[in-house]
Chain A
Amino acid sequence: QSVLTQPPSVSAAPGQKVTISCSGSSSNIGINYVSWYQQLPGTAPKLLIYDTNKRPSGIPDRFSGSKSGTSATLGITGLQTGDEADYYCGTWDSSLSGLLFGGGTKLTVL
């Protein structure tokens, strides 16, 4: 069971918006940056959001990140079938002195 809690699955229709939550604690999300990763089927994870709300070069602005207290959220607008993937949140835990990942959320674009 992951220390960072994500919903196992979310779904929405093409063109719609979806949010994925990541719940942590005061020793991780509460005080550290959050990253989000997209893992398309059969491929390695890819950095989607870093420093909680920044996008690497090449990531469209349909993807956004935010944080409030000990929870972070990934938002995806204008959903496309190509967005179907597993999404993971990640952050540093200052008490454990280590990296944490959420359990992952499977996005289905209906």
Chain B
Amino acid sequence: QITLKESGPTLVKPTQTLSLTCTFSGFSLSTSGVGVGWIRQPPGKALEWLALIYWNKDYHYSPSLKSRVTITKDTSKNQVVLTMTNMDSVDTATYYCARTHYYDSRLDYWGQGTLVTVSS
């Protein structure tokens, strides 16, 4: 059974740095072709891809957020961490992590999501 779960602060202040952890089970990030991505969704709006990291440590960032995000993995802990600097109210959203695949970029298992509110 494959599961993913996001954890981190639910409230951050403007200009602060957000750190979210995706803890997963049922698969390994050392398996060839496997990756984990982060996606967010502002209230009432569309999905937006943020970043992903693959089994081979290759990573990609959304061009619009590249200067603010960092993604890392700890294979032994089955965790992927997303860091986003200089948070603003427009970053208020539900943040999801999901398993992805290098071959076809499908996101086949998703976490439940965590709502992050940016407010002073």
Q: A44-B110, A96-B63 are in contact. Are A88 and B46 (CB under 8 A)?
A: yes
Binds B, one of A9-17, A18-26, A31-39, A75-83: A31-39
Q: A44-B96, A45-B96 are in contact. Are A100 and B108 (CB under 8 A)?
A: no
Residue tally, chain A, CB below 8 Å to B: 26
Q: A44-B111, A44-B113, A99-B37 are in contact. Are A35 and B106 (CB under 8 A)?
A: yes
Are A98 and B107 closer than 8 Å at their CB atoms? Answer: no
Chain B residues with Cβ under 8 A from A46's Cβ? 110
Are A102 and B61 closer than 8 Å at their CB atoms? Answer: no
Smallest Cβ distance from B61 to chain A, in angstroms? Answer: 7
Chain B residues with Cβ under 8 A from A104's Cβ? 46-47
Are B110 and A88 closer than 8 Å at their CB atoms? Answer: no
B52 CB–A CB distance under 8 Å: yes
A97 CB–B CB distance under 8 Å: yes
Are B108 and A56 closer than 8 Å at their CB atoms? Answer: yes
Apart from A35-B104, A99-B37, A103-B46, what 19 extra A-B contacts exist at CB < 8 Å?
A2-B46, A32-B104, A39-B47, A44-B96, A45-B47, A45-B98, A45-B107, A46-B110, A50-B106, A51-B104, A88-B46, A88-B47, A90-B47, A90-B106, A97-B60, A99-B49, A99-B60, A100-B49, A101-B39
> Contact residues of A with B, CB < 8 Å?
2, 32-33, 35, 37, 39, 44-47, 50-51, 56, 88, 90-92, 96-104
Q: Please list the 6 inter-chain residue pairs (A to B) with the smallest Cβ-Cβ separation, ordered nearest first.
A: A99-B49, A50-B106, A92-B105, A33-B104, A101-B47, A44-B110
A-B contact pairs, 25 of them (CB 8 A): A2-B46, A33-B105, A37-B47, A44-B96, A44-B112, A44-B113, A45-B39, A45-B107, A45-B110, A46-B110, A47-B106, A51-B104, A88-B47, A90-B49, A90-B107, A91-B105, A92-B105, A96-B63, A97-B60, A98-B49, A98-B60, A98-B62, A99-B37, A99-B52, A99-B100
